[in-house]
Structure 1
């Protein structure tokens, strides 16, 4: 085959689905229900973003930040609908990597998988880094003391030596994941219900101090302020695709994966809008300080009650929120690597399944070790911000994939069809490109270097080890 043919050769959808669940030494176990899948996506999405994003977004849009959350949700919805269609058609662990392999070819699939490595591994390390700070905020409010900076900050950061707390939360998530997919899903469900309960508590307390006058004027910065805030809060919606990485461990993937993706986005949007309305109603938008974002929700409930214990509960919610994100994102990372390994693009150790627990143990341990080093020892800087581009790139690929698969395989069984086709995936792609274009130049530079490293890895290993390209050409 010619080089271009090999690089862009697609993998038949029926072959991808037939290989689903099978790994070296065993199979993944189908144990996850619709409820657990939905909470997996909610767990990956509803992180610390809402605890800090208001303090950054409100000064840009004023009370109209509520509209900014809705606008960002609509932007995310276009991509979510595309994910739902492909997840129902190709219900495997690879998520957008596998969708790209079926529609746009191996090289694009590799690039997509490489982007997902950036999104999952680096973003979860960045989230873990902040866990010690939230833990300290909680400990200070409860006991009046905190852990030393040497073990709660990364090297070069305010006296940090090794971020032990970041490593600990990664190890806790790893321990849960090694127990099995069902056990991990149950633990995540508990985490998610706790953090939703904490945010509902925030809303109830904040509404006791609600003042309708705080919403006038509603949009002091005009339409430009709303769109600027929407671009910022959009990243609080990233994670709704987490359920798609559980395609081989879902009980009824063709029905449940599309529902889980859409339900999770709906749940997160409702929570975000309620929190935004409650926060603005309790405190004038001009009092929001972008320099004190970590404590904005805690400060509001303390202000509303004249006590400190409500802020303590909100701080606890942030601690739990990070634990849930770390758990679900590491899970997603391991399943994508599992699919890539099965295709031969990365070493086969990543597809080895432990016959007892029916999970990829070696894969999970390698990912956990890598993330622990990143979180504990490496200042992530702009690389963490580059995860936004990696995620948006994967979203764009999924939207394009829906268009390609509809025209190439119109009779393929689909448990969910994106409405208003082809407008929905086209708009999804356009919105992703618009948001990407608004990111800083240094973020693009970090992303470019990451892509260059990925292409080098592909041509040094993946190209020659690809299972698809060692088969007889079709």
Structure 2
């Protein structure tokens, strides 16, 4: 029996991962039904959420008109990580995202720690955005029909309500779509992403009528430090690009389409953000963004002299959050699917329905847990936990690129990080730079969370690992699945 340290750091062979997922044969556990366009919409849908609708009220007071540069800086940091994801996704096209990449490069125990990060990124954020959906839904109903869902049915108990029913309904609707199949979910998501992009395009087209070059006169009133501080705030609007990699086992031609979809999502999201920000600042003086609610709607209302933009943008937020929730829950189920296949968590998360070829028990459990969180807990205070979980996962992926280049230099890679090794090193530095500005309590709670995950590994994962069974039996772990 290998020592504990050897067990903790044993890597899952890349060839085994590729055999399990049918990366080259197309014969994996899940059906490959998602094309490049739908996959790109996954990345765009998971990234462009409510952030762009509200982030300017936080960023512009910090950086002034130079917020435009802050978005570019944040996009570069996110882009460096996205490029690293693209290389690993093309080399190891698997559903587990950075969990599986870590397993293949750094070992079993680090993979469990990254899995815990992903639980924060996907599980907690799905509940948080679902809570936000009920707020925008109420705003839309009020604007259209002058009715509101009572607080008792739209607020968590701690906020004076009984249950946040719209949030629970949203999670259930996403669960129904996901149970029906990945292809159907991808099609619905593509439609919703098209709608939200259309609404943001409408903002740009209408808002540019109010353009005033004088608004850019005092371009960087708070200097370089203001630009970088705003970039840290804005960075979290780019979280979601990694959602593409969670679909690794349901994508047609994964070696080509996974890296392409990540890069397409990055370019599309950055382009949309910069266009929206430029028009917003051009149409409204920087000093009016402070604490401005429904900022984009207010800008259009000032430009048009009408109240209809508030209704349109509320509808856009409703559709946007639905899309984000769908993709995030999808990603969560596929990460748990990969962890279960490895024996790190119970087998129920790996069971696939023979008709739909989707992990139905897994999806039901995930939706039940997220539904409870969204319905009964004011989840907003955990939003920062989502951010640190994502950043640590990003950081590990950048390290994983360098490790895999060293341990498997001849591995087939459909995409290689340009500027290697400078690019992954800059990505690591960027992630650490943002993490250091998070509140100390966030970092402490995160460390406790990871410690719990490592305790789970020692108590359960280590003894149930299929690699451990293979070591004991002297056989290929594939035979144990």
Q: Tell me which interval the TM-score lies in, with the shorter structure as reference length.
A: over 0.9
What aligned pairs does 1:31-46 form with structure 2 within 5 A after superposition?
Answer: 31-46=33-48
Q: Is the 8 A contact 1:21 1:92 kept in 2?
A: no
Q: Is the 8 A contact 1:21 1:28 kept in 2?
A: no
Q: Is the 8 A contact 2:203 2:296 kept in 1?
A: yes
Q: Is the 8 A contact 1:81 1:262 kept in 2?
A: yes
**Partner residue of 1:96 out of 98, 104, 109:** 98
2:213 equivalent in structure 1 = 212
1:51 aligns with 2:50: no
1:117 equivalent in structure 2 = 119
1:253 aligns with 2:264: no
Distance in 1 between residues matched to 2:175 and 2:63, nearest whole Å: 40
TM-score between the two structures when normalised by the length of structure 2: 0.96
2:342 equivalent in structure 1 = 343
Deviation at 1:206, TM superposition (A): 0.8
Q: Is the 8 A contact 2:85 2:259 kept in 1?
A: yes
Q: Is the 8 A contact 1:174 1:368 kept in 2?
A: yes
Deviation at 1:218, TM superposition (A): 0.8
Q: Is the 8 A contact 2:158 2:377 kept in 1?
A: no
SS where residue 218 of structure 1 aligns? coil
TM-score between the two structures when normalised by the length of structure 1: 0.97
Distance in 2 between residues matched to 1:300 and 1:398, nearest whole Å: 39
Deviation at 1:289, TM superposition (A): 2.5
Q: Is the 8 A contact 1:353 1:361 kept in 2?
A: yes
Distance in 1 between residues matched to 2:5 and 2:240, nearest whole Å: 33
Count of matched residue pairs? 468
1:4 equivalent in structure 2 = 5
Q: Is the 8 A contact 2:131 2:379 kept in 1?
A: no
Q: Render the CA deviation track for 1:229-276: whole Å, top value 9, x for unaligned.
A: 000000000000111011100011000000101110110001100110
SS where residue 358 of structure 1 aligns? coil
Deviation at 1:69, TM superposition (A): 0.5
- Shifted more, 340-349 versus 383-392: the winner is 383-392
Deviation at 1:384, TM superposition (A): 2.6
What aligned pairs does 1:225-304 form with structure 2 within 5 A after superposition?
Answer: 225-290=226-291, 292-293=292-293, 295-304=294-303
1:466 equivalent in structure 2 = 465
Distance in 2 between residues matched to 1:446 and 1:199, nearest whole Å: 36
Distance in 1 between residues matched to 2:438 and 2:15, nearest whole Å: 38
Q: Is the 8 A contact 2:86 2:415 kept in 1?
A: yes
Distance in 1 between residues matched to 2:362 and 2:206, nearest whole Å: 44
SS where residue 251 of structure 1 aligns? coil
Runs of 4+ in 1 over 2 A off after TM superposition: 379-384
Deviation at 1:472, TM superposition (A): 2.4
Distance in 1 between residues matched to 2:403 and 2:411, nearest whole Å: 12
2:170 equivalent in structure 1 = 169
Q: Render the CA deviation track for 1:107-135: whole Å, top value 9, x for unaligned.
A: 00111111101110001100101111111
2:190 equivalent in structure 1 = 189
Distance in 1 between residues matched to 2:225 and 2:143, nearest whole Å: 39
2:20 equivalent in structure 1 = 19
2:479 equivalent in structure 1 = none
1:416 equivalent in structure 2 = 415
- Shifted more, 276-285 versus 447-456: the winner is 447-456
Distance in 1 between residues matched to 2:210 and 2:393, nearest whole Å: 42
Structure 1 runs not aligned, ≥5 long? none
Deviation at 1:20, TM superposition (A): 1.0
